[in-house]
Structure 1
Amino acid sequence: MQNFPLVSVICLSYNHSPFVEEALDSVMNQTYTNIELIIADDCSTDNSKKVIDNWLKKHPNILFIPNVINLGNTKTFNNAVKHAKGDYFIDLAADDILLPNCIENQIKTFQNSKYKNLGIVYGNLIEIDENGNSIRNYYTEEDYPESGDIYKMVIARTTKICSVSSMIKKSVFEKLNYYDENLAYEDLDLWVRAARVFDFEYIDKVLACKRETPNSLSAHFLFKNNSKTKQLNLSTLKILNNAYHLNKSKKEHQLLLGRIRFEMYKFFKARNFILLFKLFLFGIKVKFKSL
């Protein structure tokens, strides 16, 4: 492996005008310098595109892909990553921030890892509010992020992974056939499929800042009688079903059952009763396999 492999950062913007410039600057201010930045805007309805265009006047060699229609996160990202030339990539939302040594730490971890089948590295991060104020660390003392074969951790309702602090080998992403474009959100499905095949390694450092706002995607999972929430919950049901088919043991089905119970609570809070009933029936199926 070369000492300084090219890293592609794909920054996806959708109505992130107050934050996108800070996100882009965080990529340019990395201590690791062999970086390719690709910006994609998913037909924002605010002035995100104008902000990006103004920022690009100082960085004219950076690729910018503005969608003329809204395609959604998964399709927009898949389109952008196909332009990437790097051996590794980072999926950066345009309201999040990479700390200056984020990429340096990730590359060093890849190069010095004991795991021969390493596909993804991930680290800790700080959750921040709209004004950039710190809310909490993503991983606390109660969390135990794992390394190696973390499939059981991923499918269970235990420690979660956030894409903001993750770096993925592009060859891994290609082998997994990119993000599933039929889903309304992408990260959990990717972790499930990747963890079944590849090792992960946790970096015990804060690498990034993830912004939490009232309109963040994570907030939409609990909105009542909301069409976007319904799409998110439907995607969750599909992801859990995929995990069911990937499971290889009763123990894994038991862990998946714990995740199903947690998701049932979220479906109930969102008043998605039809999907809740489907998830309940799916839980019975998984329960039978776990015995």
Structure 2
Amino acid sequence: MGTLVSIVFTSYNHSRYLKQALDSLINQSYKDIELIVVDDCSTDGSQEILQQYSSYPNVQLHLLKQNTGSYVKASNYGARLATGEYLMFAQCDDFAAPDQIQRLVNAFEQDSAIGVVYSRSNLVDADGIIFSDDFVGREKRFREICYRDTIIRGADMRRFLSFACVIPNLSAALIKRSLYTECNGLSEKYLVAADWAFWLDLSERTDFYYITAPLNNFRQHATTIRSKIKITTQIMEIYTIFYEHINRYNLTASDQNKMKVGAGAVWFWYFLENRKVWLQSFMQTLKRTFSIDKFSVYYLLLGSMVHIKEHFSAAKRKLA
């Protein structure tokens, strides 16, 4: 018997993607897993599909009686049932490479200080077709360190996370469950940015290990959780995270400025993703961020310029 891995798989109204997602986990080359499936009151036929998997010996199916209103709450519910040494949060619209868990588990043997192992992610469309990966567009320092499999010390990861969520998707990572407990789980005050806050908290406690192989497939489509939540709400969550950590870490003025510019870069990324919605939320975003920081407009615009530069640099690298 190997080390037990607990996979918390949360489901809500993504019936189209369930079979591919679940099959990719059940058919992992690493067999010492428990799969804890939590459905948050789906109404699109998801529960009927999930019932087909309930007879598997390593699958626990939990159909919640009342919708929690948040993937974060559903994830924490499942994590409280976990018994494995390692913990993974799998999203119901993503899917894994057959050897993902085996390679993540193996990486923990590199250094006892490692508490989180994660891989590069393919970005795939609604049909599962790869169109990019999450390494494209990363800032220069990250690319210099993470061009190969490597340990990322907590302080370095915290610096990376101060400017971008460099682990863009929970499904890409495996963590020591004891660390999840130390952090009191995922923060339920966030609707979309709980993972970012979680990684920042973990970076204070542990080191990370990065695998360059894209072992996770992160699906981009019109019905993701992020796509259903107002851009203003998402930006405000990012601002909340940034300002909490600015105060916690006693950052230098230079690093504080970089963090604020990072929020602007994320804001402009939303523009590239959905221009119409971005423009509709433009004034509300400026007003609400201004209430936190009187210089927010400056940082949002400066961050947008930085993102434009990175966007075109990434395009050039891709063509080279």
Q: CA RMSD in A?
A: 2.5
Question: CA shift at 1:281, angstroms?
Answer: 4.9
Q: Which amino acid aligns with 2:115?
A: G
Question: CA shift at 1:160, angstroms?
Answer: 4.9
2:255 to 236, 252, 255: 252
Structure 1 residues 109 and 270: CA distance shift in structure 2, 3 A:
farther
Question: CA shift at 1:33, angstroms?
Answer: 1.0
1:84 to 59, 75, 82: 82
Structure 1 residues 120 and 104: CA distance shift in structure 2, 3 A:
same
Q: Which residue of 2 aligns with 1:52?
A: 50
Question: CA shift at 1:20, angstroms?
Answer: 0.9
TM-score w.r.t. structure 2 length? Answer: 0.78
Instruction: Report matched runs for 1:5-24 at 5 Å.
Output: 5-24=3-22
Question: CA shift at 1:263, angstroms?
Answer: 4.4
- 3-state SS of 2:16 partner: coil
Cα deviation, 1:41-66, whole Å, max 9, x if unaligned, reads 11112110111012324x15521111
2:33 to 32, 35, 45: 35
Structure 1 residues 76 and 270: CA distance shift in structure 2, 3 A:
farther
Question: CA shift at 1:259, angstroms?
Answer: 1.5
Question: CA shift at 1:158, angstroms?
Answer: 7.7
1:188 to 168, 190, 196: 196
1:140 to 118, 136, 139: 136
Q: Distance in 2 between matches of 1:48 and 1:167?
A: 25
Structure 1 residues 263 and 139: CA distance shift in structure 2, 3 A:
closer
Q: Distance in 2 between matches of 1:119 and 1:162?
A: 17
Deviates more, 1:156-165 or 1:249-258: 156-165
Q: Which amino acid aligns with 1:50?
A: E
Structure 1 residues 232 and 65: CA distance shift in structure 2, 3 A:
farther
Matched, 1:67 2:64: yes
* Runs of 5+ consecutive residues of structure 1 not aligned to the other structure: 221-226
Q: Which residue of 2 aligns with 1:273?
A: 283
Instruction: Report matched runs for 1:171-250 at 5 Å.
Output: 171-185=178-192, 186-220=194-228, 228-250=230-252
Q: Distance in 1 between matches of 2:94 and 2:125?
A: 10
Question: CA shift at 1:276, angstroms?
Answer: 2.6
Cα deviation, 1:17-49, whole Å, max 9, x if unaligned, reads 111122111111111111010000111121101
Q: Which amino acid aligns with 1:255?
A: K
Q: Which residue of 1 aligns with 2:118?
A: 122
- 3-state SS of 1:52 partner: helix
CA contact (8 A) 1:124 1:165 kept: yes
CA contact (8 A) 1:260 1:279 kept: no
How many residues in Structure 1 have an aligned counterpart in Structure 2?
276
Question: CA shift at 1:159, angstroms?
Answer: 4.3
Structure 1 residues 218 and 135: CA distance shift in structure 2, 3 A:
farther
CA contact (8 A) 2:123 2:220 kept: yes
Structure 1 residues 75 and 158: CA distance shift in structure 2, 3 A:
closer
- 3-state SS of 1:131 partner: coil
Q: Distance in 2 between matches of 1:228 and 1:44?
A: 22
Q: Distance in 2 between matches of 1:65 and 1:90?
A: 17
- 3-state SS of 2:135 partner: coil
CA contact (8 A) 1:264 1:279 kept: no
Which structure's residues are more often helix, by fraction? 2
Cα deviation, 1:232-291, whole Å, max 9, x if unaligned, reads 33322322222222223314313212213324545964515344333235445899xxxx
Question: CA shift at 1:90, angstroms?
Answer: 0.9
CA contact (8 A) 1:126 1:208 kept: yes
Q: Which amino acid aligns with 1:260?
A: A
Identity of aligned pairs, percent? 22
Q: Distance in 2 between matches of 1:264 and 1:277?
A: 14
Q: Which amino acid aligns with 1:165?
A: A
